[in-house]
Structure 1
Amino acid sequence: MRKPDLAAALAERADLTKDKANEVLNELLDQITLTVSKGESVSLIGFGTFETRSRAKRMGKNPQTGAAIEIPASNTVAFKPGKALKEACNS
């Protein structure tokens, strides 16, 4: 399912216009992005948690030459699914 499909399903289930559903979906995603980019987590009970995780610098290998390279430290976004989502996927 892609974003337009999700907005259309939301519009149908919540009795909204497609434009309004798309607006709500965009605002939800913007708020999650803003919050996680500040280093805070977003917890949606039953669905899961979005959070920032730090990766330490590490040594890697250039796949073309085999030469060792240092990969710098970085931040990434992680998603940990909630219990209800896990159960829905396993039923």
Structure 2
Amino acid sequence: MADKSLNRTELVAAVAAESGQSQAAVNGVLDALFSTLATSVGEGTKVTIPGWLAIERTHRAARAGRNPSTGEAIQIAAGYGVKVSAGSKLKAAAK
């Protein structure tokens, strides 16, 4: 695992410095980006940023599970998850 991490505040500061925009403007853009992603993925629309990311909603079928504390068999309802795939540029940057 990576020893380093970049939290949202640090990301906003780095993007603001790189782009010459204010941190408030960058923060507003990130808020809008995440809101649009959440709405689109929630509606089942795949969001693709070519070369960087692909984000889509996936369906999970109902399945049998087990309660870890009692060992009792339980039924887990069907639901949705999110799949995030790295694009070629992001993969190349990680090498």
Shorter-chain TM-score range? over 0.9
Residues 1:51 and 2:56 aligned together: yes
Tell me whether 1:78 sits opposite 2:83 in the alignment: yes
Give the Cα separation in 1 of the matches to 2:7 and 2:38: 18
* Aligned twin of 2:22: 17
- The CA RMSD over aligned residues, in Å, is 0.8
Give a deviation string over 1:15-70, Cα, whole Å, max 9, x none: 10111111111111111111111100110111110100000000011001111100
Q: Which 5+ residue runs of structure 1 have no aligned equivalent?
A: none
Aligned residues: 90
Q: Secondary structure at the match of 2:82?
A: strand
**More deviation, 77-86/52-61:** 77-86
- Please state how far the C-alpha of 1:4 moved relative to its aligned partner: 1.3
Kindly report structure 1 stretches of 4+ aligned residues shifted beyond 2 Å: none
Structure 1: how far apart are the matches of 2:84 and 2:74?
Answer: 28
Give the TM-score, by structure 2 length.
0.90
